Amino acid sequence: MLRRSTFILFVMALVLGAAVLPASAGSSVNATFSLGCDGFSGSGQILLDRDNTGSSREAFQVVVTDGIGNIIYKPVVDSFFVGGTVSWTATNVVKWTSAPEDNPLTLRVVSLAGNNVGEQTIAVATGSCEGLPSFGALPTVISSAASDSVDINAVPPRPTNADDVTSKLPGFLVVNTDNLSLRSGDGPDYTLVGIVDGGTKLIPLGRNLKFTWWFVQAGDIKGWAKAEFLVARGDLTNVTVVPAEGEITPATFFVYGKTPLLSAPAVGAVPLCTIPGNIEYLTTGRTKATDWYEIQATCDNAVVKGWIAASLGAFRGPAGTILPVTAP
């Protein structure tokens, strides 16, 4: 069985690589390293030329951290005689002592301070583990499509984000009003996809050209939020413009109370069925005088179109909505 000092010597001989620099500049490095999910490997050698121990030896260590500073390779300190070289063979892989959580992965070979010389970084290498998030990087937007629109009369979802989700981002957005609508596009005319409470931290995925709307994510819901109701935190300079791919909110008619749905826009028309009130119905047309509205409802499990007097409810629709005249 190898003693620990012998084991350390063996590991360090595998890890380090080389280059030739003037003795006054410290250890010489001519090495490359590859960092991945399980560990690291390298090739090359290091020429040791700093007596930082007072005994004609150079002491050094290898430290590897992940994107949030976790040490994933426990530092190993060893020393070799000045003038010697330490080599690494590319076929050997040193395993991490702890699993990485975030990218990027960073390896440092450090010559320690001592004998009237300061600490010096001899080599630095970076790598990544596929599938891990990157600390300080915004999510990559593959599609700017928002989440599904909320059906008429359905209760919209109220998503949120855990604090640790936004803590790793360079910047995020905070909702500074209550019941903020998330929409399928960058305007109030687009359909609703969700509602977020005041104080909710949102992940920025994109923005429109004028910075008036942000494409954001809360939980598993993606949608557009109006900028005037958001407070920016951190650095959002790398958030890019993305296209809005939403759908316009359809015109509806809110029926105040239970009432007959008629077959024509007239008081004496034949009723198709009685529809419940306090509900919105899709509006498909109107009379020329706009005193009657044609709406879509369900009668006896069948979707039908019928008429209701304008006085029995309230028309709702995006500004500038023009309903077709479907009856005189």
So where are the chain's domains? Answer: 4-127, 136-249, 252-327
Q: What is the pLDDT, as a whole number, of residue 131?
A: 87
Q: What is the pLDDT, as a whole number, of residue 121?
A: 79
Q: How confident is the model at residue 140 (pLDDT cuts 50, 70, 90)?
A: low
Superfamily name and number for 136-249: SH3 Domains (2.30.30.40)
Token pair, residue 59, equals: 């002491």
Tell me what the mean pLDDT of segment 204-208 comes to. Answer: 93
Q: What is the pLDDT, as a whole number, of residue 142?
A: 64
Say whether pLDDT at 20 is over 50: no
Say whether pLDDT at 276 is over 70: yes
Task: Please name the fold of domain 4-127.
Answer: Immunoglobulin-like (2.60.40)
Pairing of strands 192-196, 180-183: antiparallel
CA nearest neighbour of 72 among 95, 41, 42: 95
The pLDDT > 90 percentage for the chain reads 55
Task: Please name the fold of domain 252-327.
Answer: SH3 type barrels. (2.30.30)
Which residue in the block uniquely carries the two structure tokens 């003037």?
22
User: pTM of the entire structure?
Assistant: 0.61
Token pair, residue 124, equals: 């630095």
The pLDDT > 70 percentage for the chain reads 89
| Whether the domain at 136-249 and the domain at 252-327 fall into the same CATH topology | yes
Q: What is the pLDDT of residues 26-75, one digit of tens each?
A: 445 678 889 999 999 888 888 888 899 999 999 988 889 887 778 999 88
Q: What is the pLDDT, as a whole number, of residue 7?
A: 29
